[in-house]
Copies of this chain bind each other. A is one copy, B any other.
């Protein structure tokens, strides 16, 4: 197996690669950011599998993934993520990733998944696949669709008026939603509501 592992945490990178090499007999190339990964791909030809850390310089979201896929001709690019929101996992697959690996996974399972993906199979942990559970953030369940839209704008720091324009509603209506949002999120004001939503990783 010819594998490229890109992660900006030296420790993660080196220990995982050591494990894949000793236990899995893989040949592992390393990169510390997206730029390094892309260069390595172009230089040392297409890999059987490219593992990209999701939070890494240059990645910003899925654009880095897409670049890597186009660089590594045969595809075979997987995302490695520490805190895995199920939604991004599915988005990654839709964007063409061959797999999604949360770091909460065991080392042995990782090895299996890597073998799996190296041979061209798509890998995705079942916990992240359940359609329903996916969008269902524990917090989001209580909110109506409208409220979610408003909350998202709230998290951009927009004013009621701006939100009203964005959603094509009256300002008063926004106020209403903001009030109920504050109640549901147990916040005293819009700022706390936005902070809470952010911390819950909703957006």
Nearest CB of B to A187, in Å: 7
Q: Which residues of B contact A101 (CB under 8 A)?
A: 11
Q: In the complex, are the beta carbons of A159 and B189 less than 8 A apart?
A: yes
Counting CB contacts under 8 A, is A27 at the interface? Answer: no
Q: Which residues of B contact A143 (CB under 8 A)?
A: none
Contact of A18 among B12, B18, B105, B193 (CB under 8 A): B18
Chain A interface mostly helix, strand, loop or mixed?
Answer: helix
**Chain A residues at the B interface, C-beta cutoff of 8 Å:** 8-16, 18-19, 22-23, 82, 101, 103-110, 154-157, 159, 187-195, 198-199
Closest 5 CB pairs of A and B: A157-B192, A14-B107, A10-B106, A15-B15, A157-B191
Alpha-carbon separation in the docked complex, A178 to B111 (Å): 51
A-B contact pairs, 29 of them (CB 8 A): A9-B103, A9-B104, A10-B104, A10-B106, A11-B16, A11-B103, A11-B104, A11-B105, A12-B12, A12-B103, A14-B19, A14-B106, A14-B107, A15-B16, A15-B18, A18-B22, A19-B19, A82-B82, A156-B192, A157-B188, A157-B189, A157-B191, A157-B192, A157-B195, A159-B188, A190-B191, A194-B194, A194-B195, A195-B195
